Structure 1
Amino acid sequence: MSQKRSIFEEVETRDKAVPQTGVIDRAKRGARGPIRLWLMLIFVLVVAMILVGGLTRLTDSGLSITEWKPVTGALPPMSEADWQSEFELYQEIPEYQLQNKGMSLSEFKTIYWWEWGHRQLGRVIGLVWALGFVGFLVARKIPPGWTPRLLLLGALGGVQGAVGWWMVSSGLEGSRLDVASYRLAIHLGLAFIILGFLGWYILMLSREERDLMQARRSREARLFGMGTGLLHLAFVQILLGALVAGIDAGRNYIDWPLMAGGFLPPDPFQLEPLWRNFFEDDGLVQFMHRMAGYLLVVFAIIVWNRARRSPNATTRFAFNAALAMILLQMVLGIITVMYSAPLHFAILHQLGAILAWVLILRARFAAQYPRLQSVRG
């Protein structure tokens, strides 16, 4: 028989749940810091890949390896017989027969190493991505919603490898001395797209999810839209730059601001059919690159003028930096043309394109996710 309890008897109390704060950041947060560092490593490797690719193009080394062997091609020729076999394959393509006939084996080795290094760097990037992705996935450290984003990077990298071979194959037959310029533009454009995704993801992972959600409420929609337009225009200019590089158009028409003494280059539409001129006429291709550059500078100034009215100091600084780099890139472009695109100026101009691309991306991010600041600013 149960005993009656006194009304004064202490009743056992259960621990009440204490309200938790910062749930967004703590629940399944994932390894945001380590993933950011991993993406930063890939970012640096992709930048190196773009620059090595540019040097490979400038040294006419891109067609020295005539086969695509994603796995076994990781090993270079290991004996003199292997070197001779590779050299004989190169001797069968138009570039050797029409341009480099009589090249020695020693000279061939120089251009071979450039192309091998370019492909090897691509393999390293793929390996770094695969090891990192699988490691974070198995450890269940990928933040919610980030698995598709990280998979996208790997997929784009795989497509880039295939596009690279598609580009190289265009110069292995027929009467071409180089790869098709439009394929080169697609290859370079995809590299910048990958770099853009990497940069955006790194910027997102540099701040907590809660911070991003709060910052988005203060987004400057119009400035963000203008930054997006600036990014797209810069991308078009990068593609036109690839067309210039693809046909060595930067080594002709070295006067500025005119071209061969006139506004338009002479005979800009001499090739048939008409569309070929926009890809293969060196004068017209360089003219388009110049005009797009002027348009990019003008639009960048318009966007910068709008950004000056931003209430956020970090956003204003980001657009200041983007405009400064675009102006510097224009100067680098003019110098590169006037000196007939020597290797050191040409690669510096390509590095300038990378910096301008990243700074525009950062400015766009600052408009989308402005940093919180005090009333005093």
Structure 2
Amino acid sequence: MTDAVALNGSRAKPANADIAIRIWLGCVIALIFAMVVVGGATRLTGSGLSITEWKPILGAIPPLSAADWQEAFDKYRQIPQYQLVNKGMSLEEFKFIFWWEWAHRFLGRFIGVAFALPFLVFAFAGTIRRDLAPSLIVLFALGALQGFMGWYMVQSGLVDRVSVSQYRLAAHLGLAAIIYAAMIWVALGVGQPARTIKRSWAWLSAAGLVVFSFIQIVLGAFVAGMKAGFAYNTWPLMDGEFVPDGLFVMQPWHLNLFENALTVQFNHRMAAYMLFGWAILHAIAMMRTERAGRLSAVFLAGAVTLQAVLGIWTLVAQVPLSLGLVHQAGAFIVLAIAVYHLHRLSRGLKG
């Protein structure tokens, strides 16, 4: 009969412990995905600045009385977004945006608890391998950093702006993508024997697809932060041209990459074309030369194709809430499949 292994790795761990840990991590991954979707809704509804304070513990309690609601509303009315964009908003209208932001923050707190408590239970039960524990600790630290990053982002919109900084938004969403991808990788490896990765052309190409999927998410965050998706709502042309004028009108030139709405959207489009072509060619090459990872390569190419179609649809429809959320969710689905595909190649697994 096999014994559970303690964190010091002194004993062998049974398979049912691996299954339990995978289920736990899978649930946290699903919560992170939900967090991304709710975060997108918070952004698209303009709700992100409705809570002007950061109270990691007490902030979990929403206003409970009319006086509490009025106090929260009065604080919101002091920031530029209310004074320049939402002046005259009623208390009921404020409650709508407040609940979106409160749900986003509450879900973040819930994810922290959903990760930390089971980790402690598994640790005290001695069912976490010594080689797995450091990865889980790093993931928890990244999650804590993400909470701080969220407030750091909100702060940028409380004084001199009517929305958050696109730089901080990109950092916040980018860190979410890193945590999400890393947790998927760790979950897939639970209970699997360590293997030496063979860095074949297929593996390097798959790794590049993971990295490029992440880059495209960050580029999308700049589009969202600049509200660049609400302009140039034609496809395949932008402002009547495939390569529009005005891409580098700002000086120094590199500011255009992050602060020129035309350039920001153009870069997101071009990156989408590159990712689409890369995924299709990768899948074709995999079908012809590789045995491992063929099916996941095809699924990845299909997901990228669907995401490209969603992106075009969202753009020409001028970013309605429903399509905006589906498109953001699609980006994280593509990233998940890319990580899964790379993991299978790393272990030489079929499918």
**TM exceeding 0.5:** yes
| 1:29 alignment partner in structure 2 | 13
Change (3 A) 1:200 1:101: same
Q: Distance in 1 between matches of 2:154 and 2:10?
A: 48
Letter matched to residue 345 of structure 2 = A
Q: Contact (CA 8 Å) 1:220, 1:367: kept in 2 or not?
A: no
Equivalent residue of 1:112, what SS? helix
Counterpart pick for 2:192 among 209, 224, 227: 209
Q: Contact (CA 8 Å) 2:297, 2:341: kept in 1 or not?
A: yes
Q: Distance in 2 between matches of 1:223 and 1:311?
A: 8
Counterpart pick for 1:81 among 67, 76, 84: 67
Q: Distance in 1 between matches of 2:216 and 2:321?
A: 20
Change (3 A) 1:272 1:67: farther
Counterpart pick for 1:41 among 23, 27, 30: 27
Aligned pair 1:127/2:113, yes or no? yes
Q: Contact (CA 8 Å) 2:294, 2:350: kept in 1 or not?
A: no
Q: Distance in 2 between matches of 1:265 and 1:170?
A: 31
Counterpart pick for 1:277 among 256, 263, 268: 256
In the TM superposition, what are the counterparts of 1:117-196 in structure 2 within 5 Å?
117-174=103-160, 176-196=161-181
Change (3 A) 1:125 1:146: same
Q: Contact (CA 8 Å) 2:344, 2:350: kept in 1 or not?
A: no
Q: Distance in 1 between matches of 2:143 and 2:39?
A: 15
Q: Which moved more, 1:111-120 or 1:133-142?
A: 133-142
Q: Distance in 1 between matches of 2:248 and 2:350?
A: 54
Counterpart pick for 2:185 among 178, 194, 200: 200
| 1:61 alignment partner in structure 2 | 47
Letter matched to residue 73 of structure 2 = F
Equivalent residue of 2:241, what SS? coil
Counterpart pick for 1:343 among 303, 321, 326: 321
Q: Contact (CA 8 Å) 1:266, 1:283: kept in 2 or not?
A: no
- Normalised TM-score (structure 1): 0.86
Q: Distance in 1 between matches of 2:258 and 2:53?
A: 26
Please state how far the C-alpha of 1:26 moved relative to its aligned partner.
11
Please state how far the C-alpha of 1:372 moved relative to its aligned partner.
6.9
* Aligned Cα root-mean-square deviation (Å): 2.0
Change (3 A) 1:260 1:309: same
Aligned pair 1:251/2:234, yes or no? no
Q: Deviations 1:269-318 (Å, cap 9, x if unpaired)? A: 34455443222221111001001111111222232232113442x61001
Q: Which runs of 5+ in 2 are unaligned?
A: 3-8
- Normalised TM-score (structure 2): 0.93
Q: Distance in 1 between matches of 2:286 and 2:302?
A: 14
Q: Contact (CA 8 Å) 1:254, 1:338: kept in 2 or not?
A: yes
Structure showing greater radius of gyration is 1
Please state how far the C-alpha of 1:204 moved relative to its aligned partner.
1.2
Q: Deviations 1:34-60 (Å, cap 9, x if unpaired)? A: 111110110010000000000000000
Q: Contact (CA 8 Å) 1:184, 1:246: kept in 2 or not?
A: yes
Q: Deviations 1:162-211 (Å, cap 9, x if unpaired)? A: 1101100000011x111001111110111111110111112112xx434x
Letter matched to residue 284 of structure 2 = N
Equivalent residue of 1:209, what SS? coil
Paired positions, count = 342
Please state how far the C-alpha of 1:27 moved relative to its aligned partner.
4.6
| 1:291 alignment partner in structure 2 | 270
Q: Contact (CA 8 Å) 1:156, 1:194: kept in 2 or not?
A: yes
Please state how far the C-alpha of 1:262 moved relative to its aligned partner.
1.3
Superposed structure 1 runs of 4+ greater than 4 Å apart:
none
Identical aligned residues as a percent: 44
Equivalent residue of 1:293, what SS? helix
Aligned pair 1:355/2:333, yes or no? yes
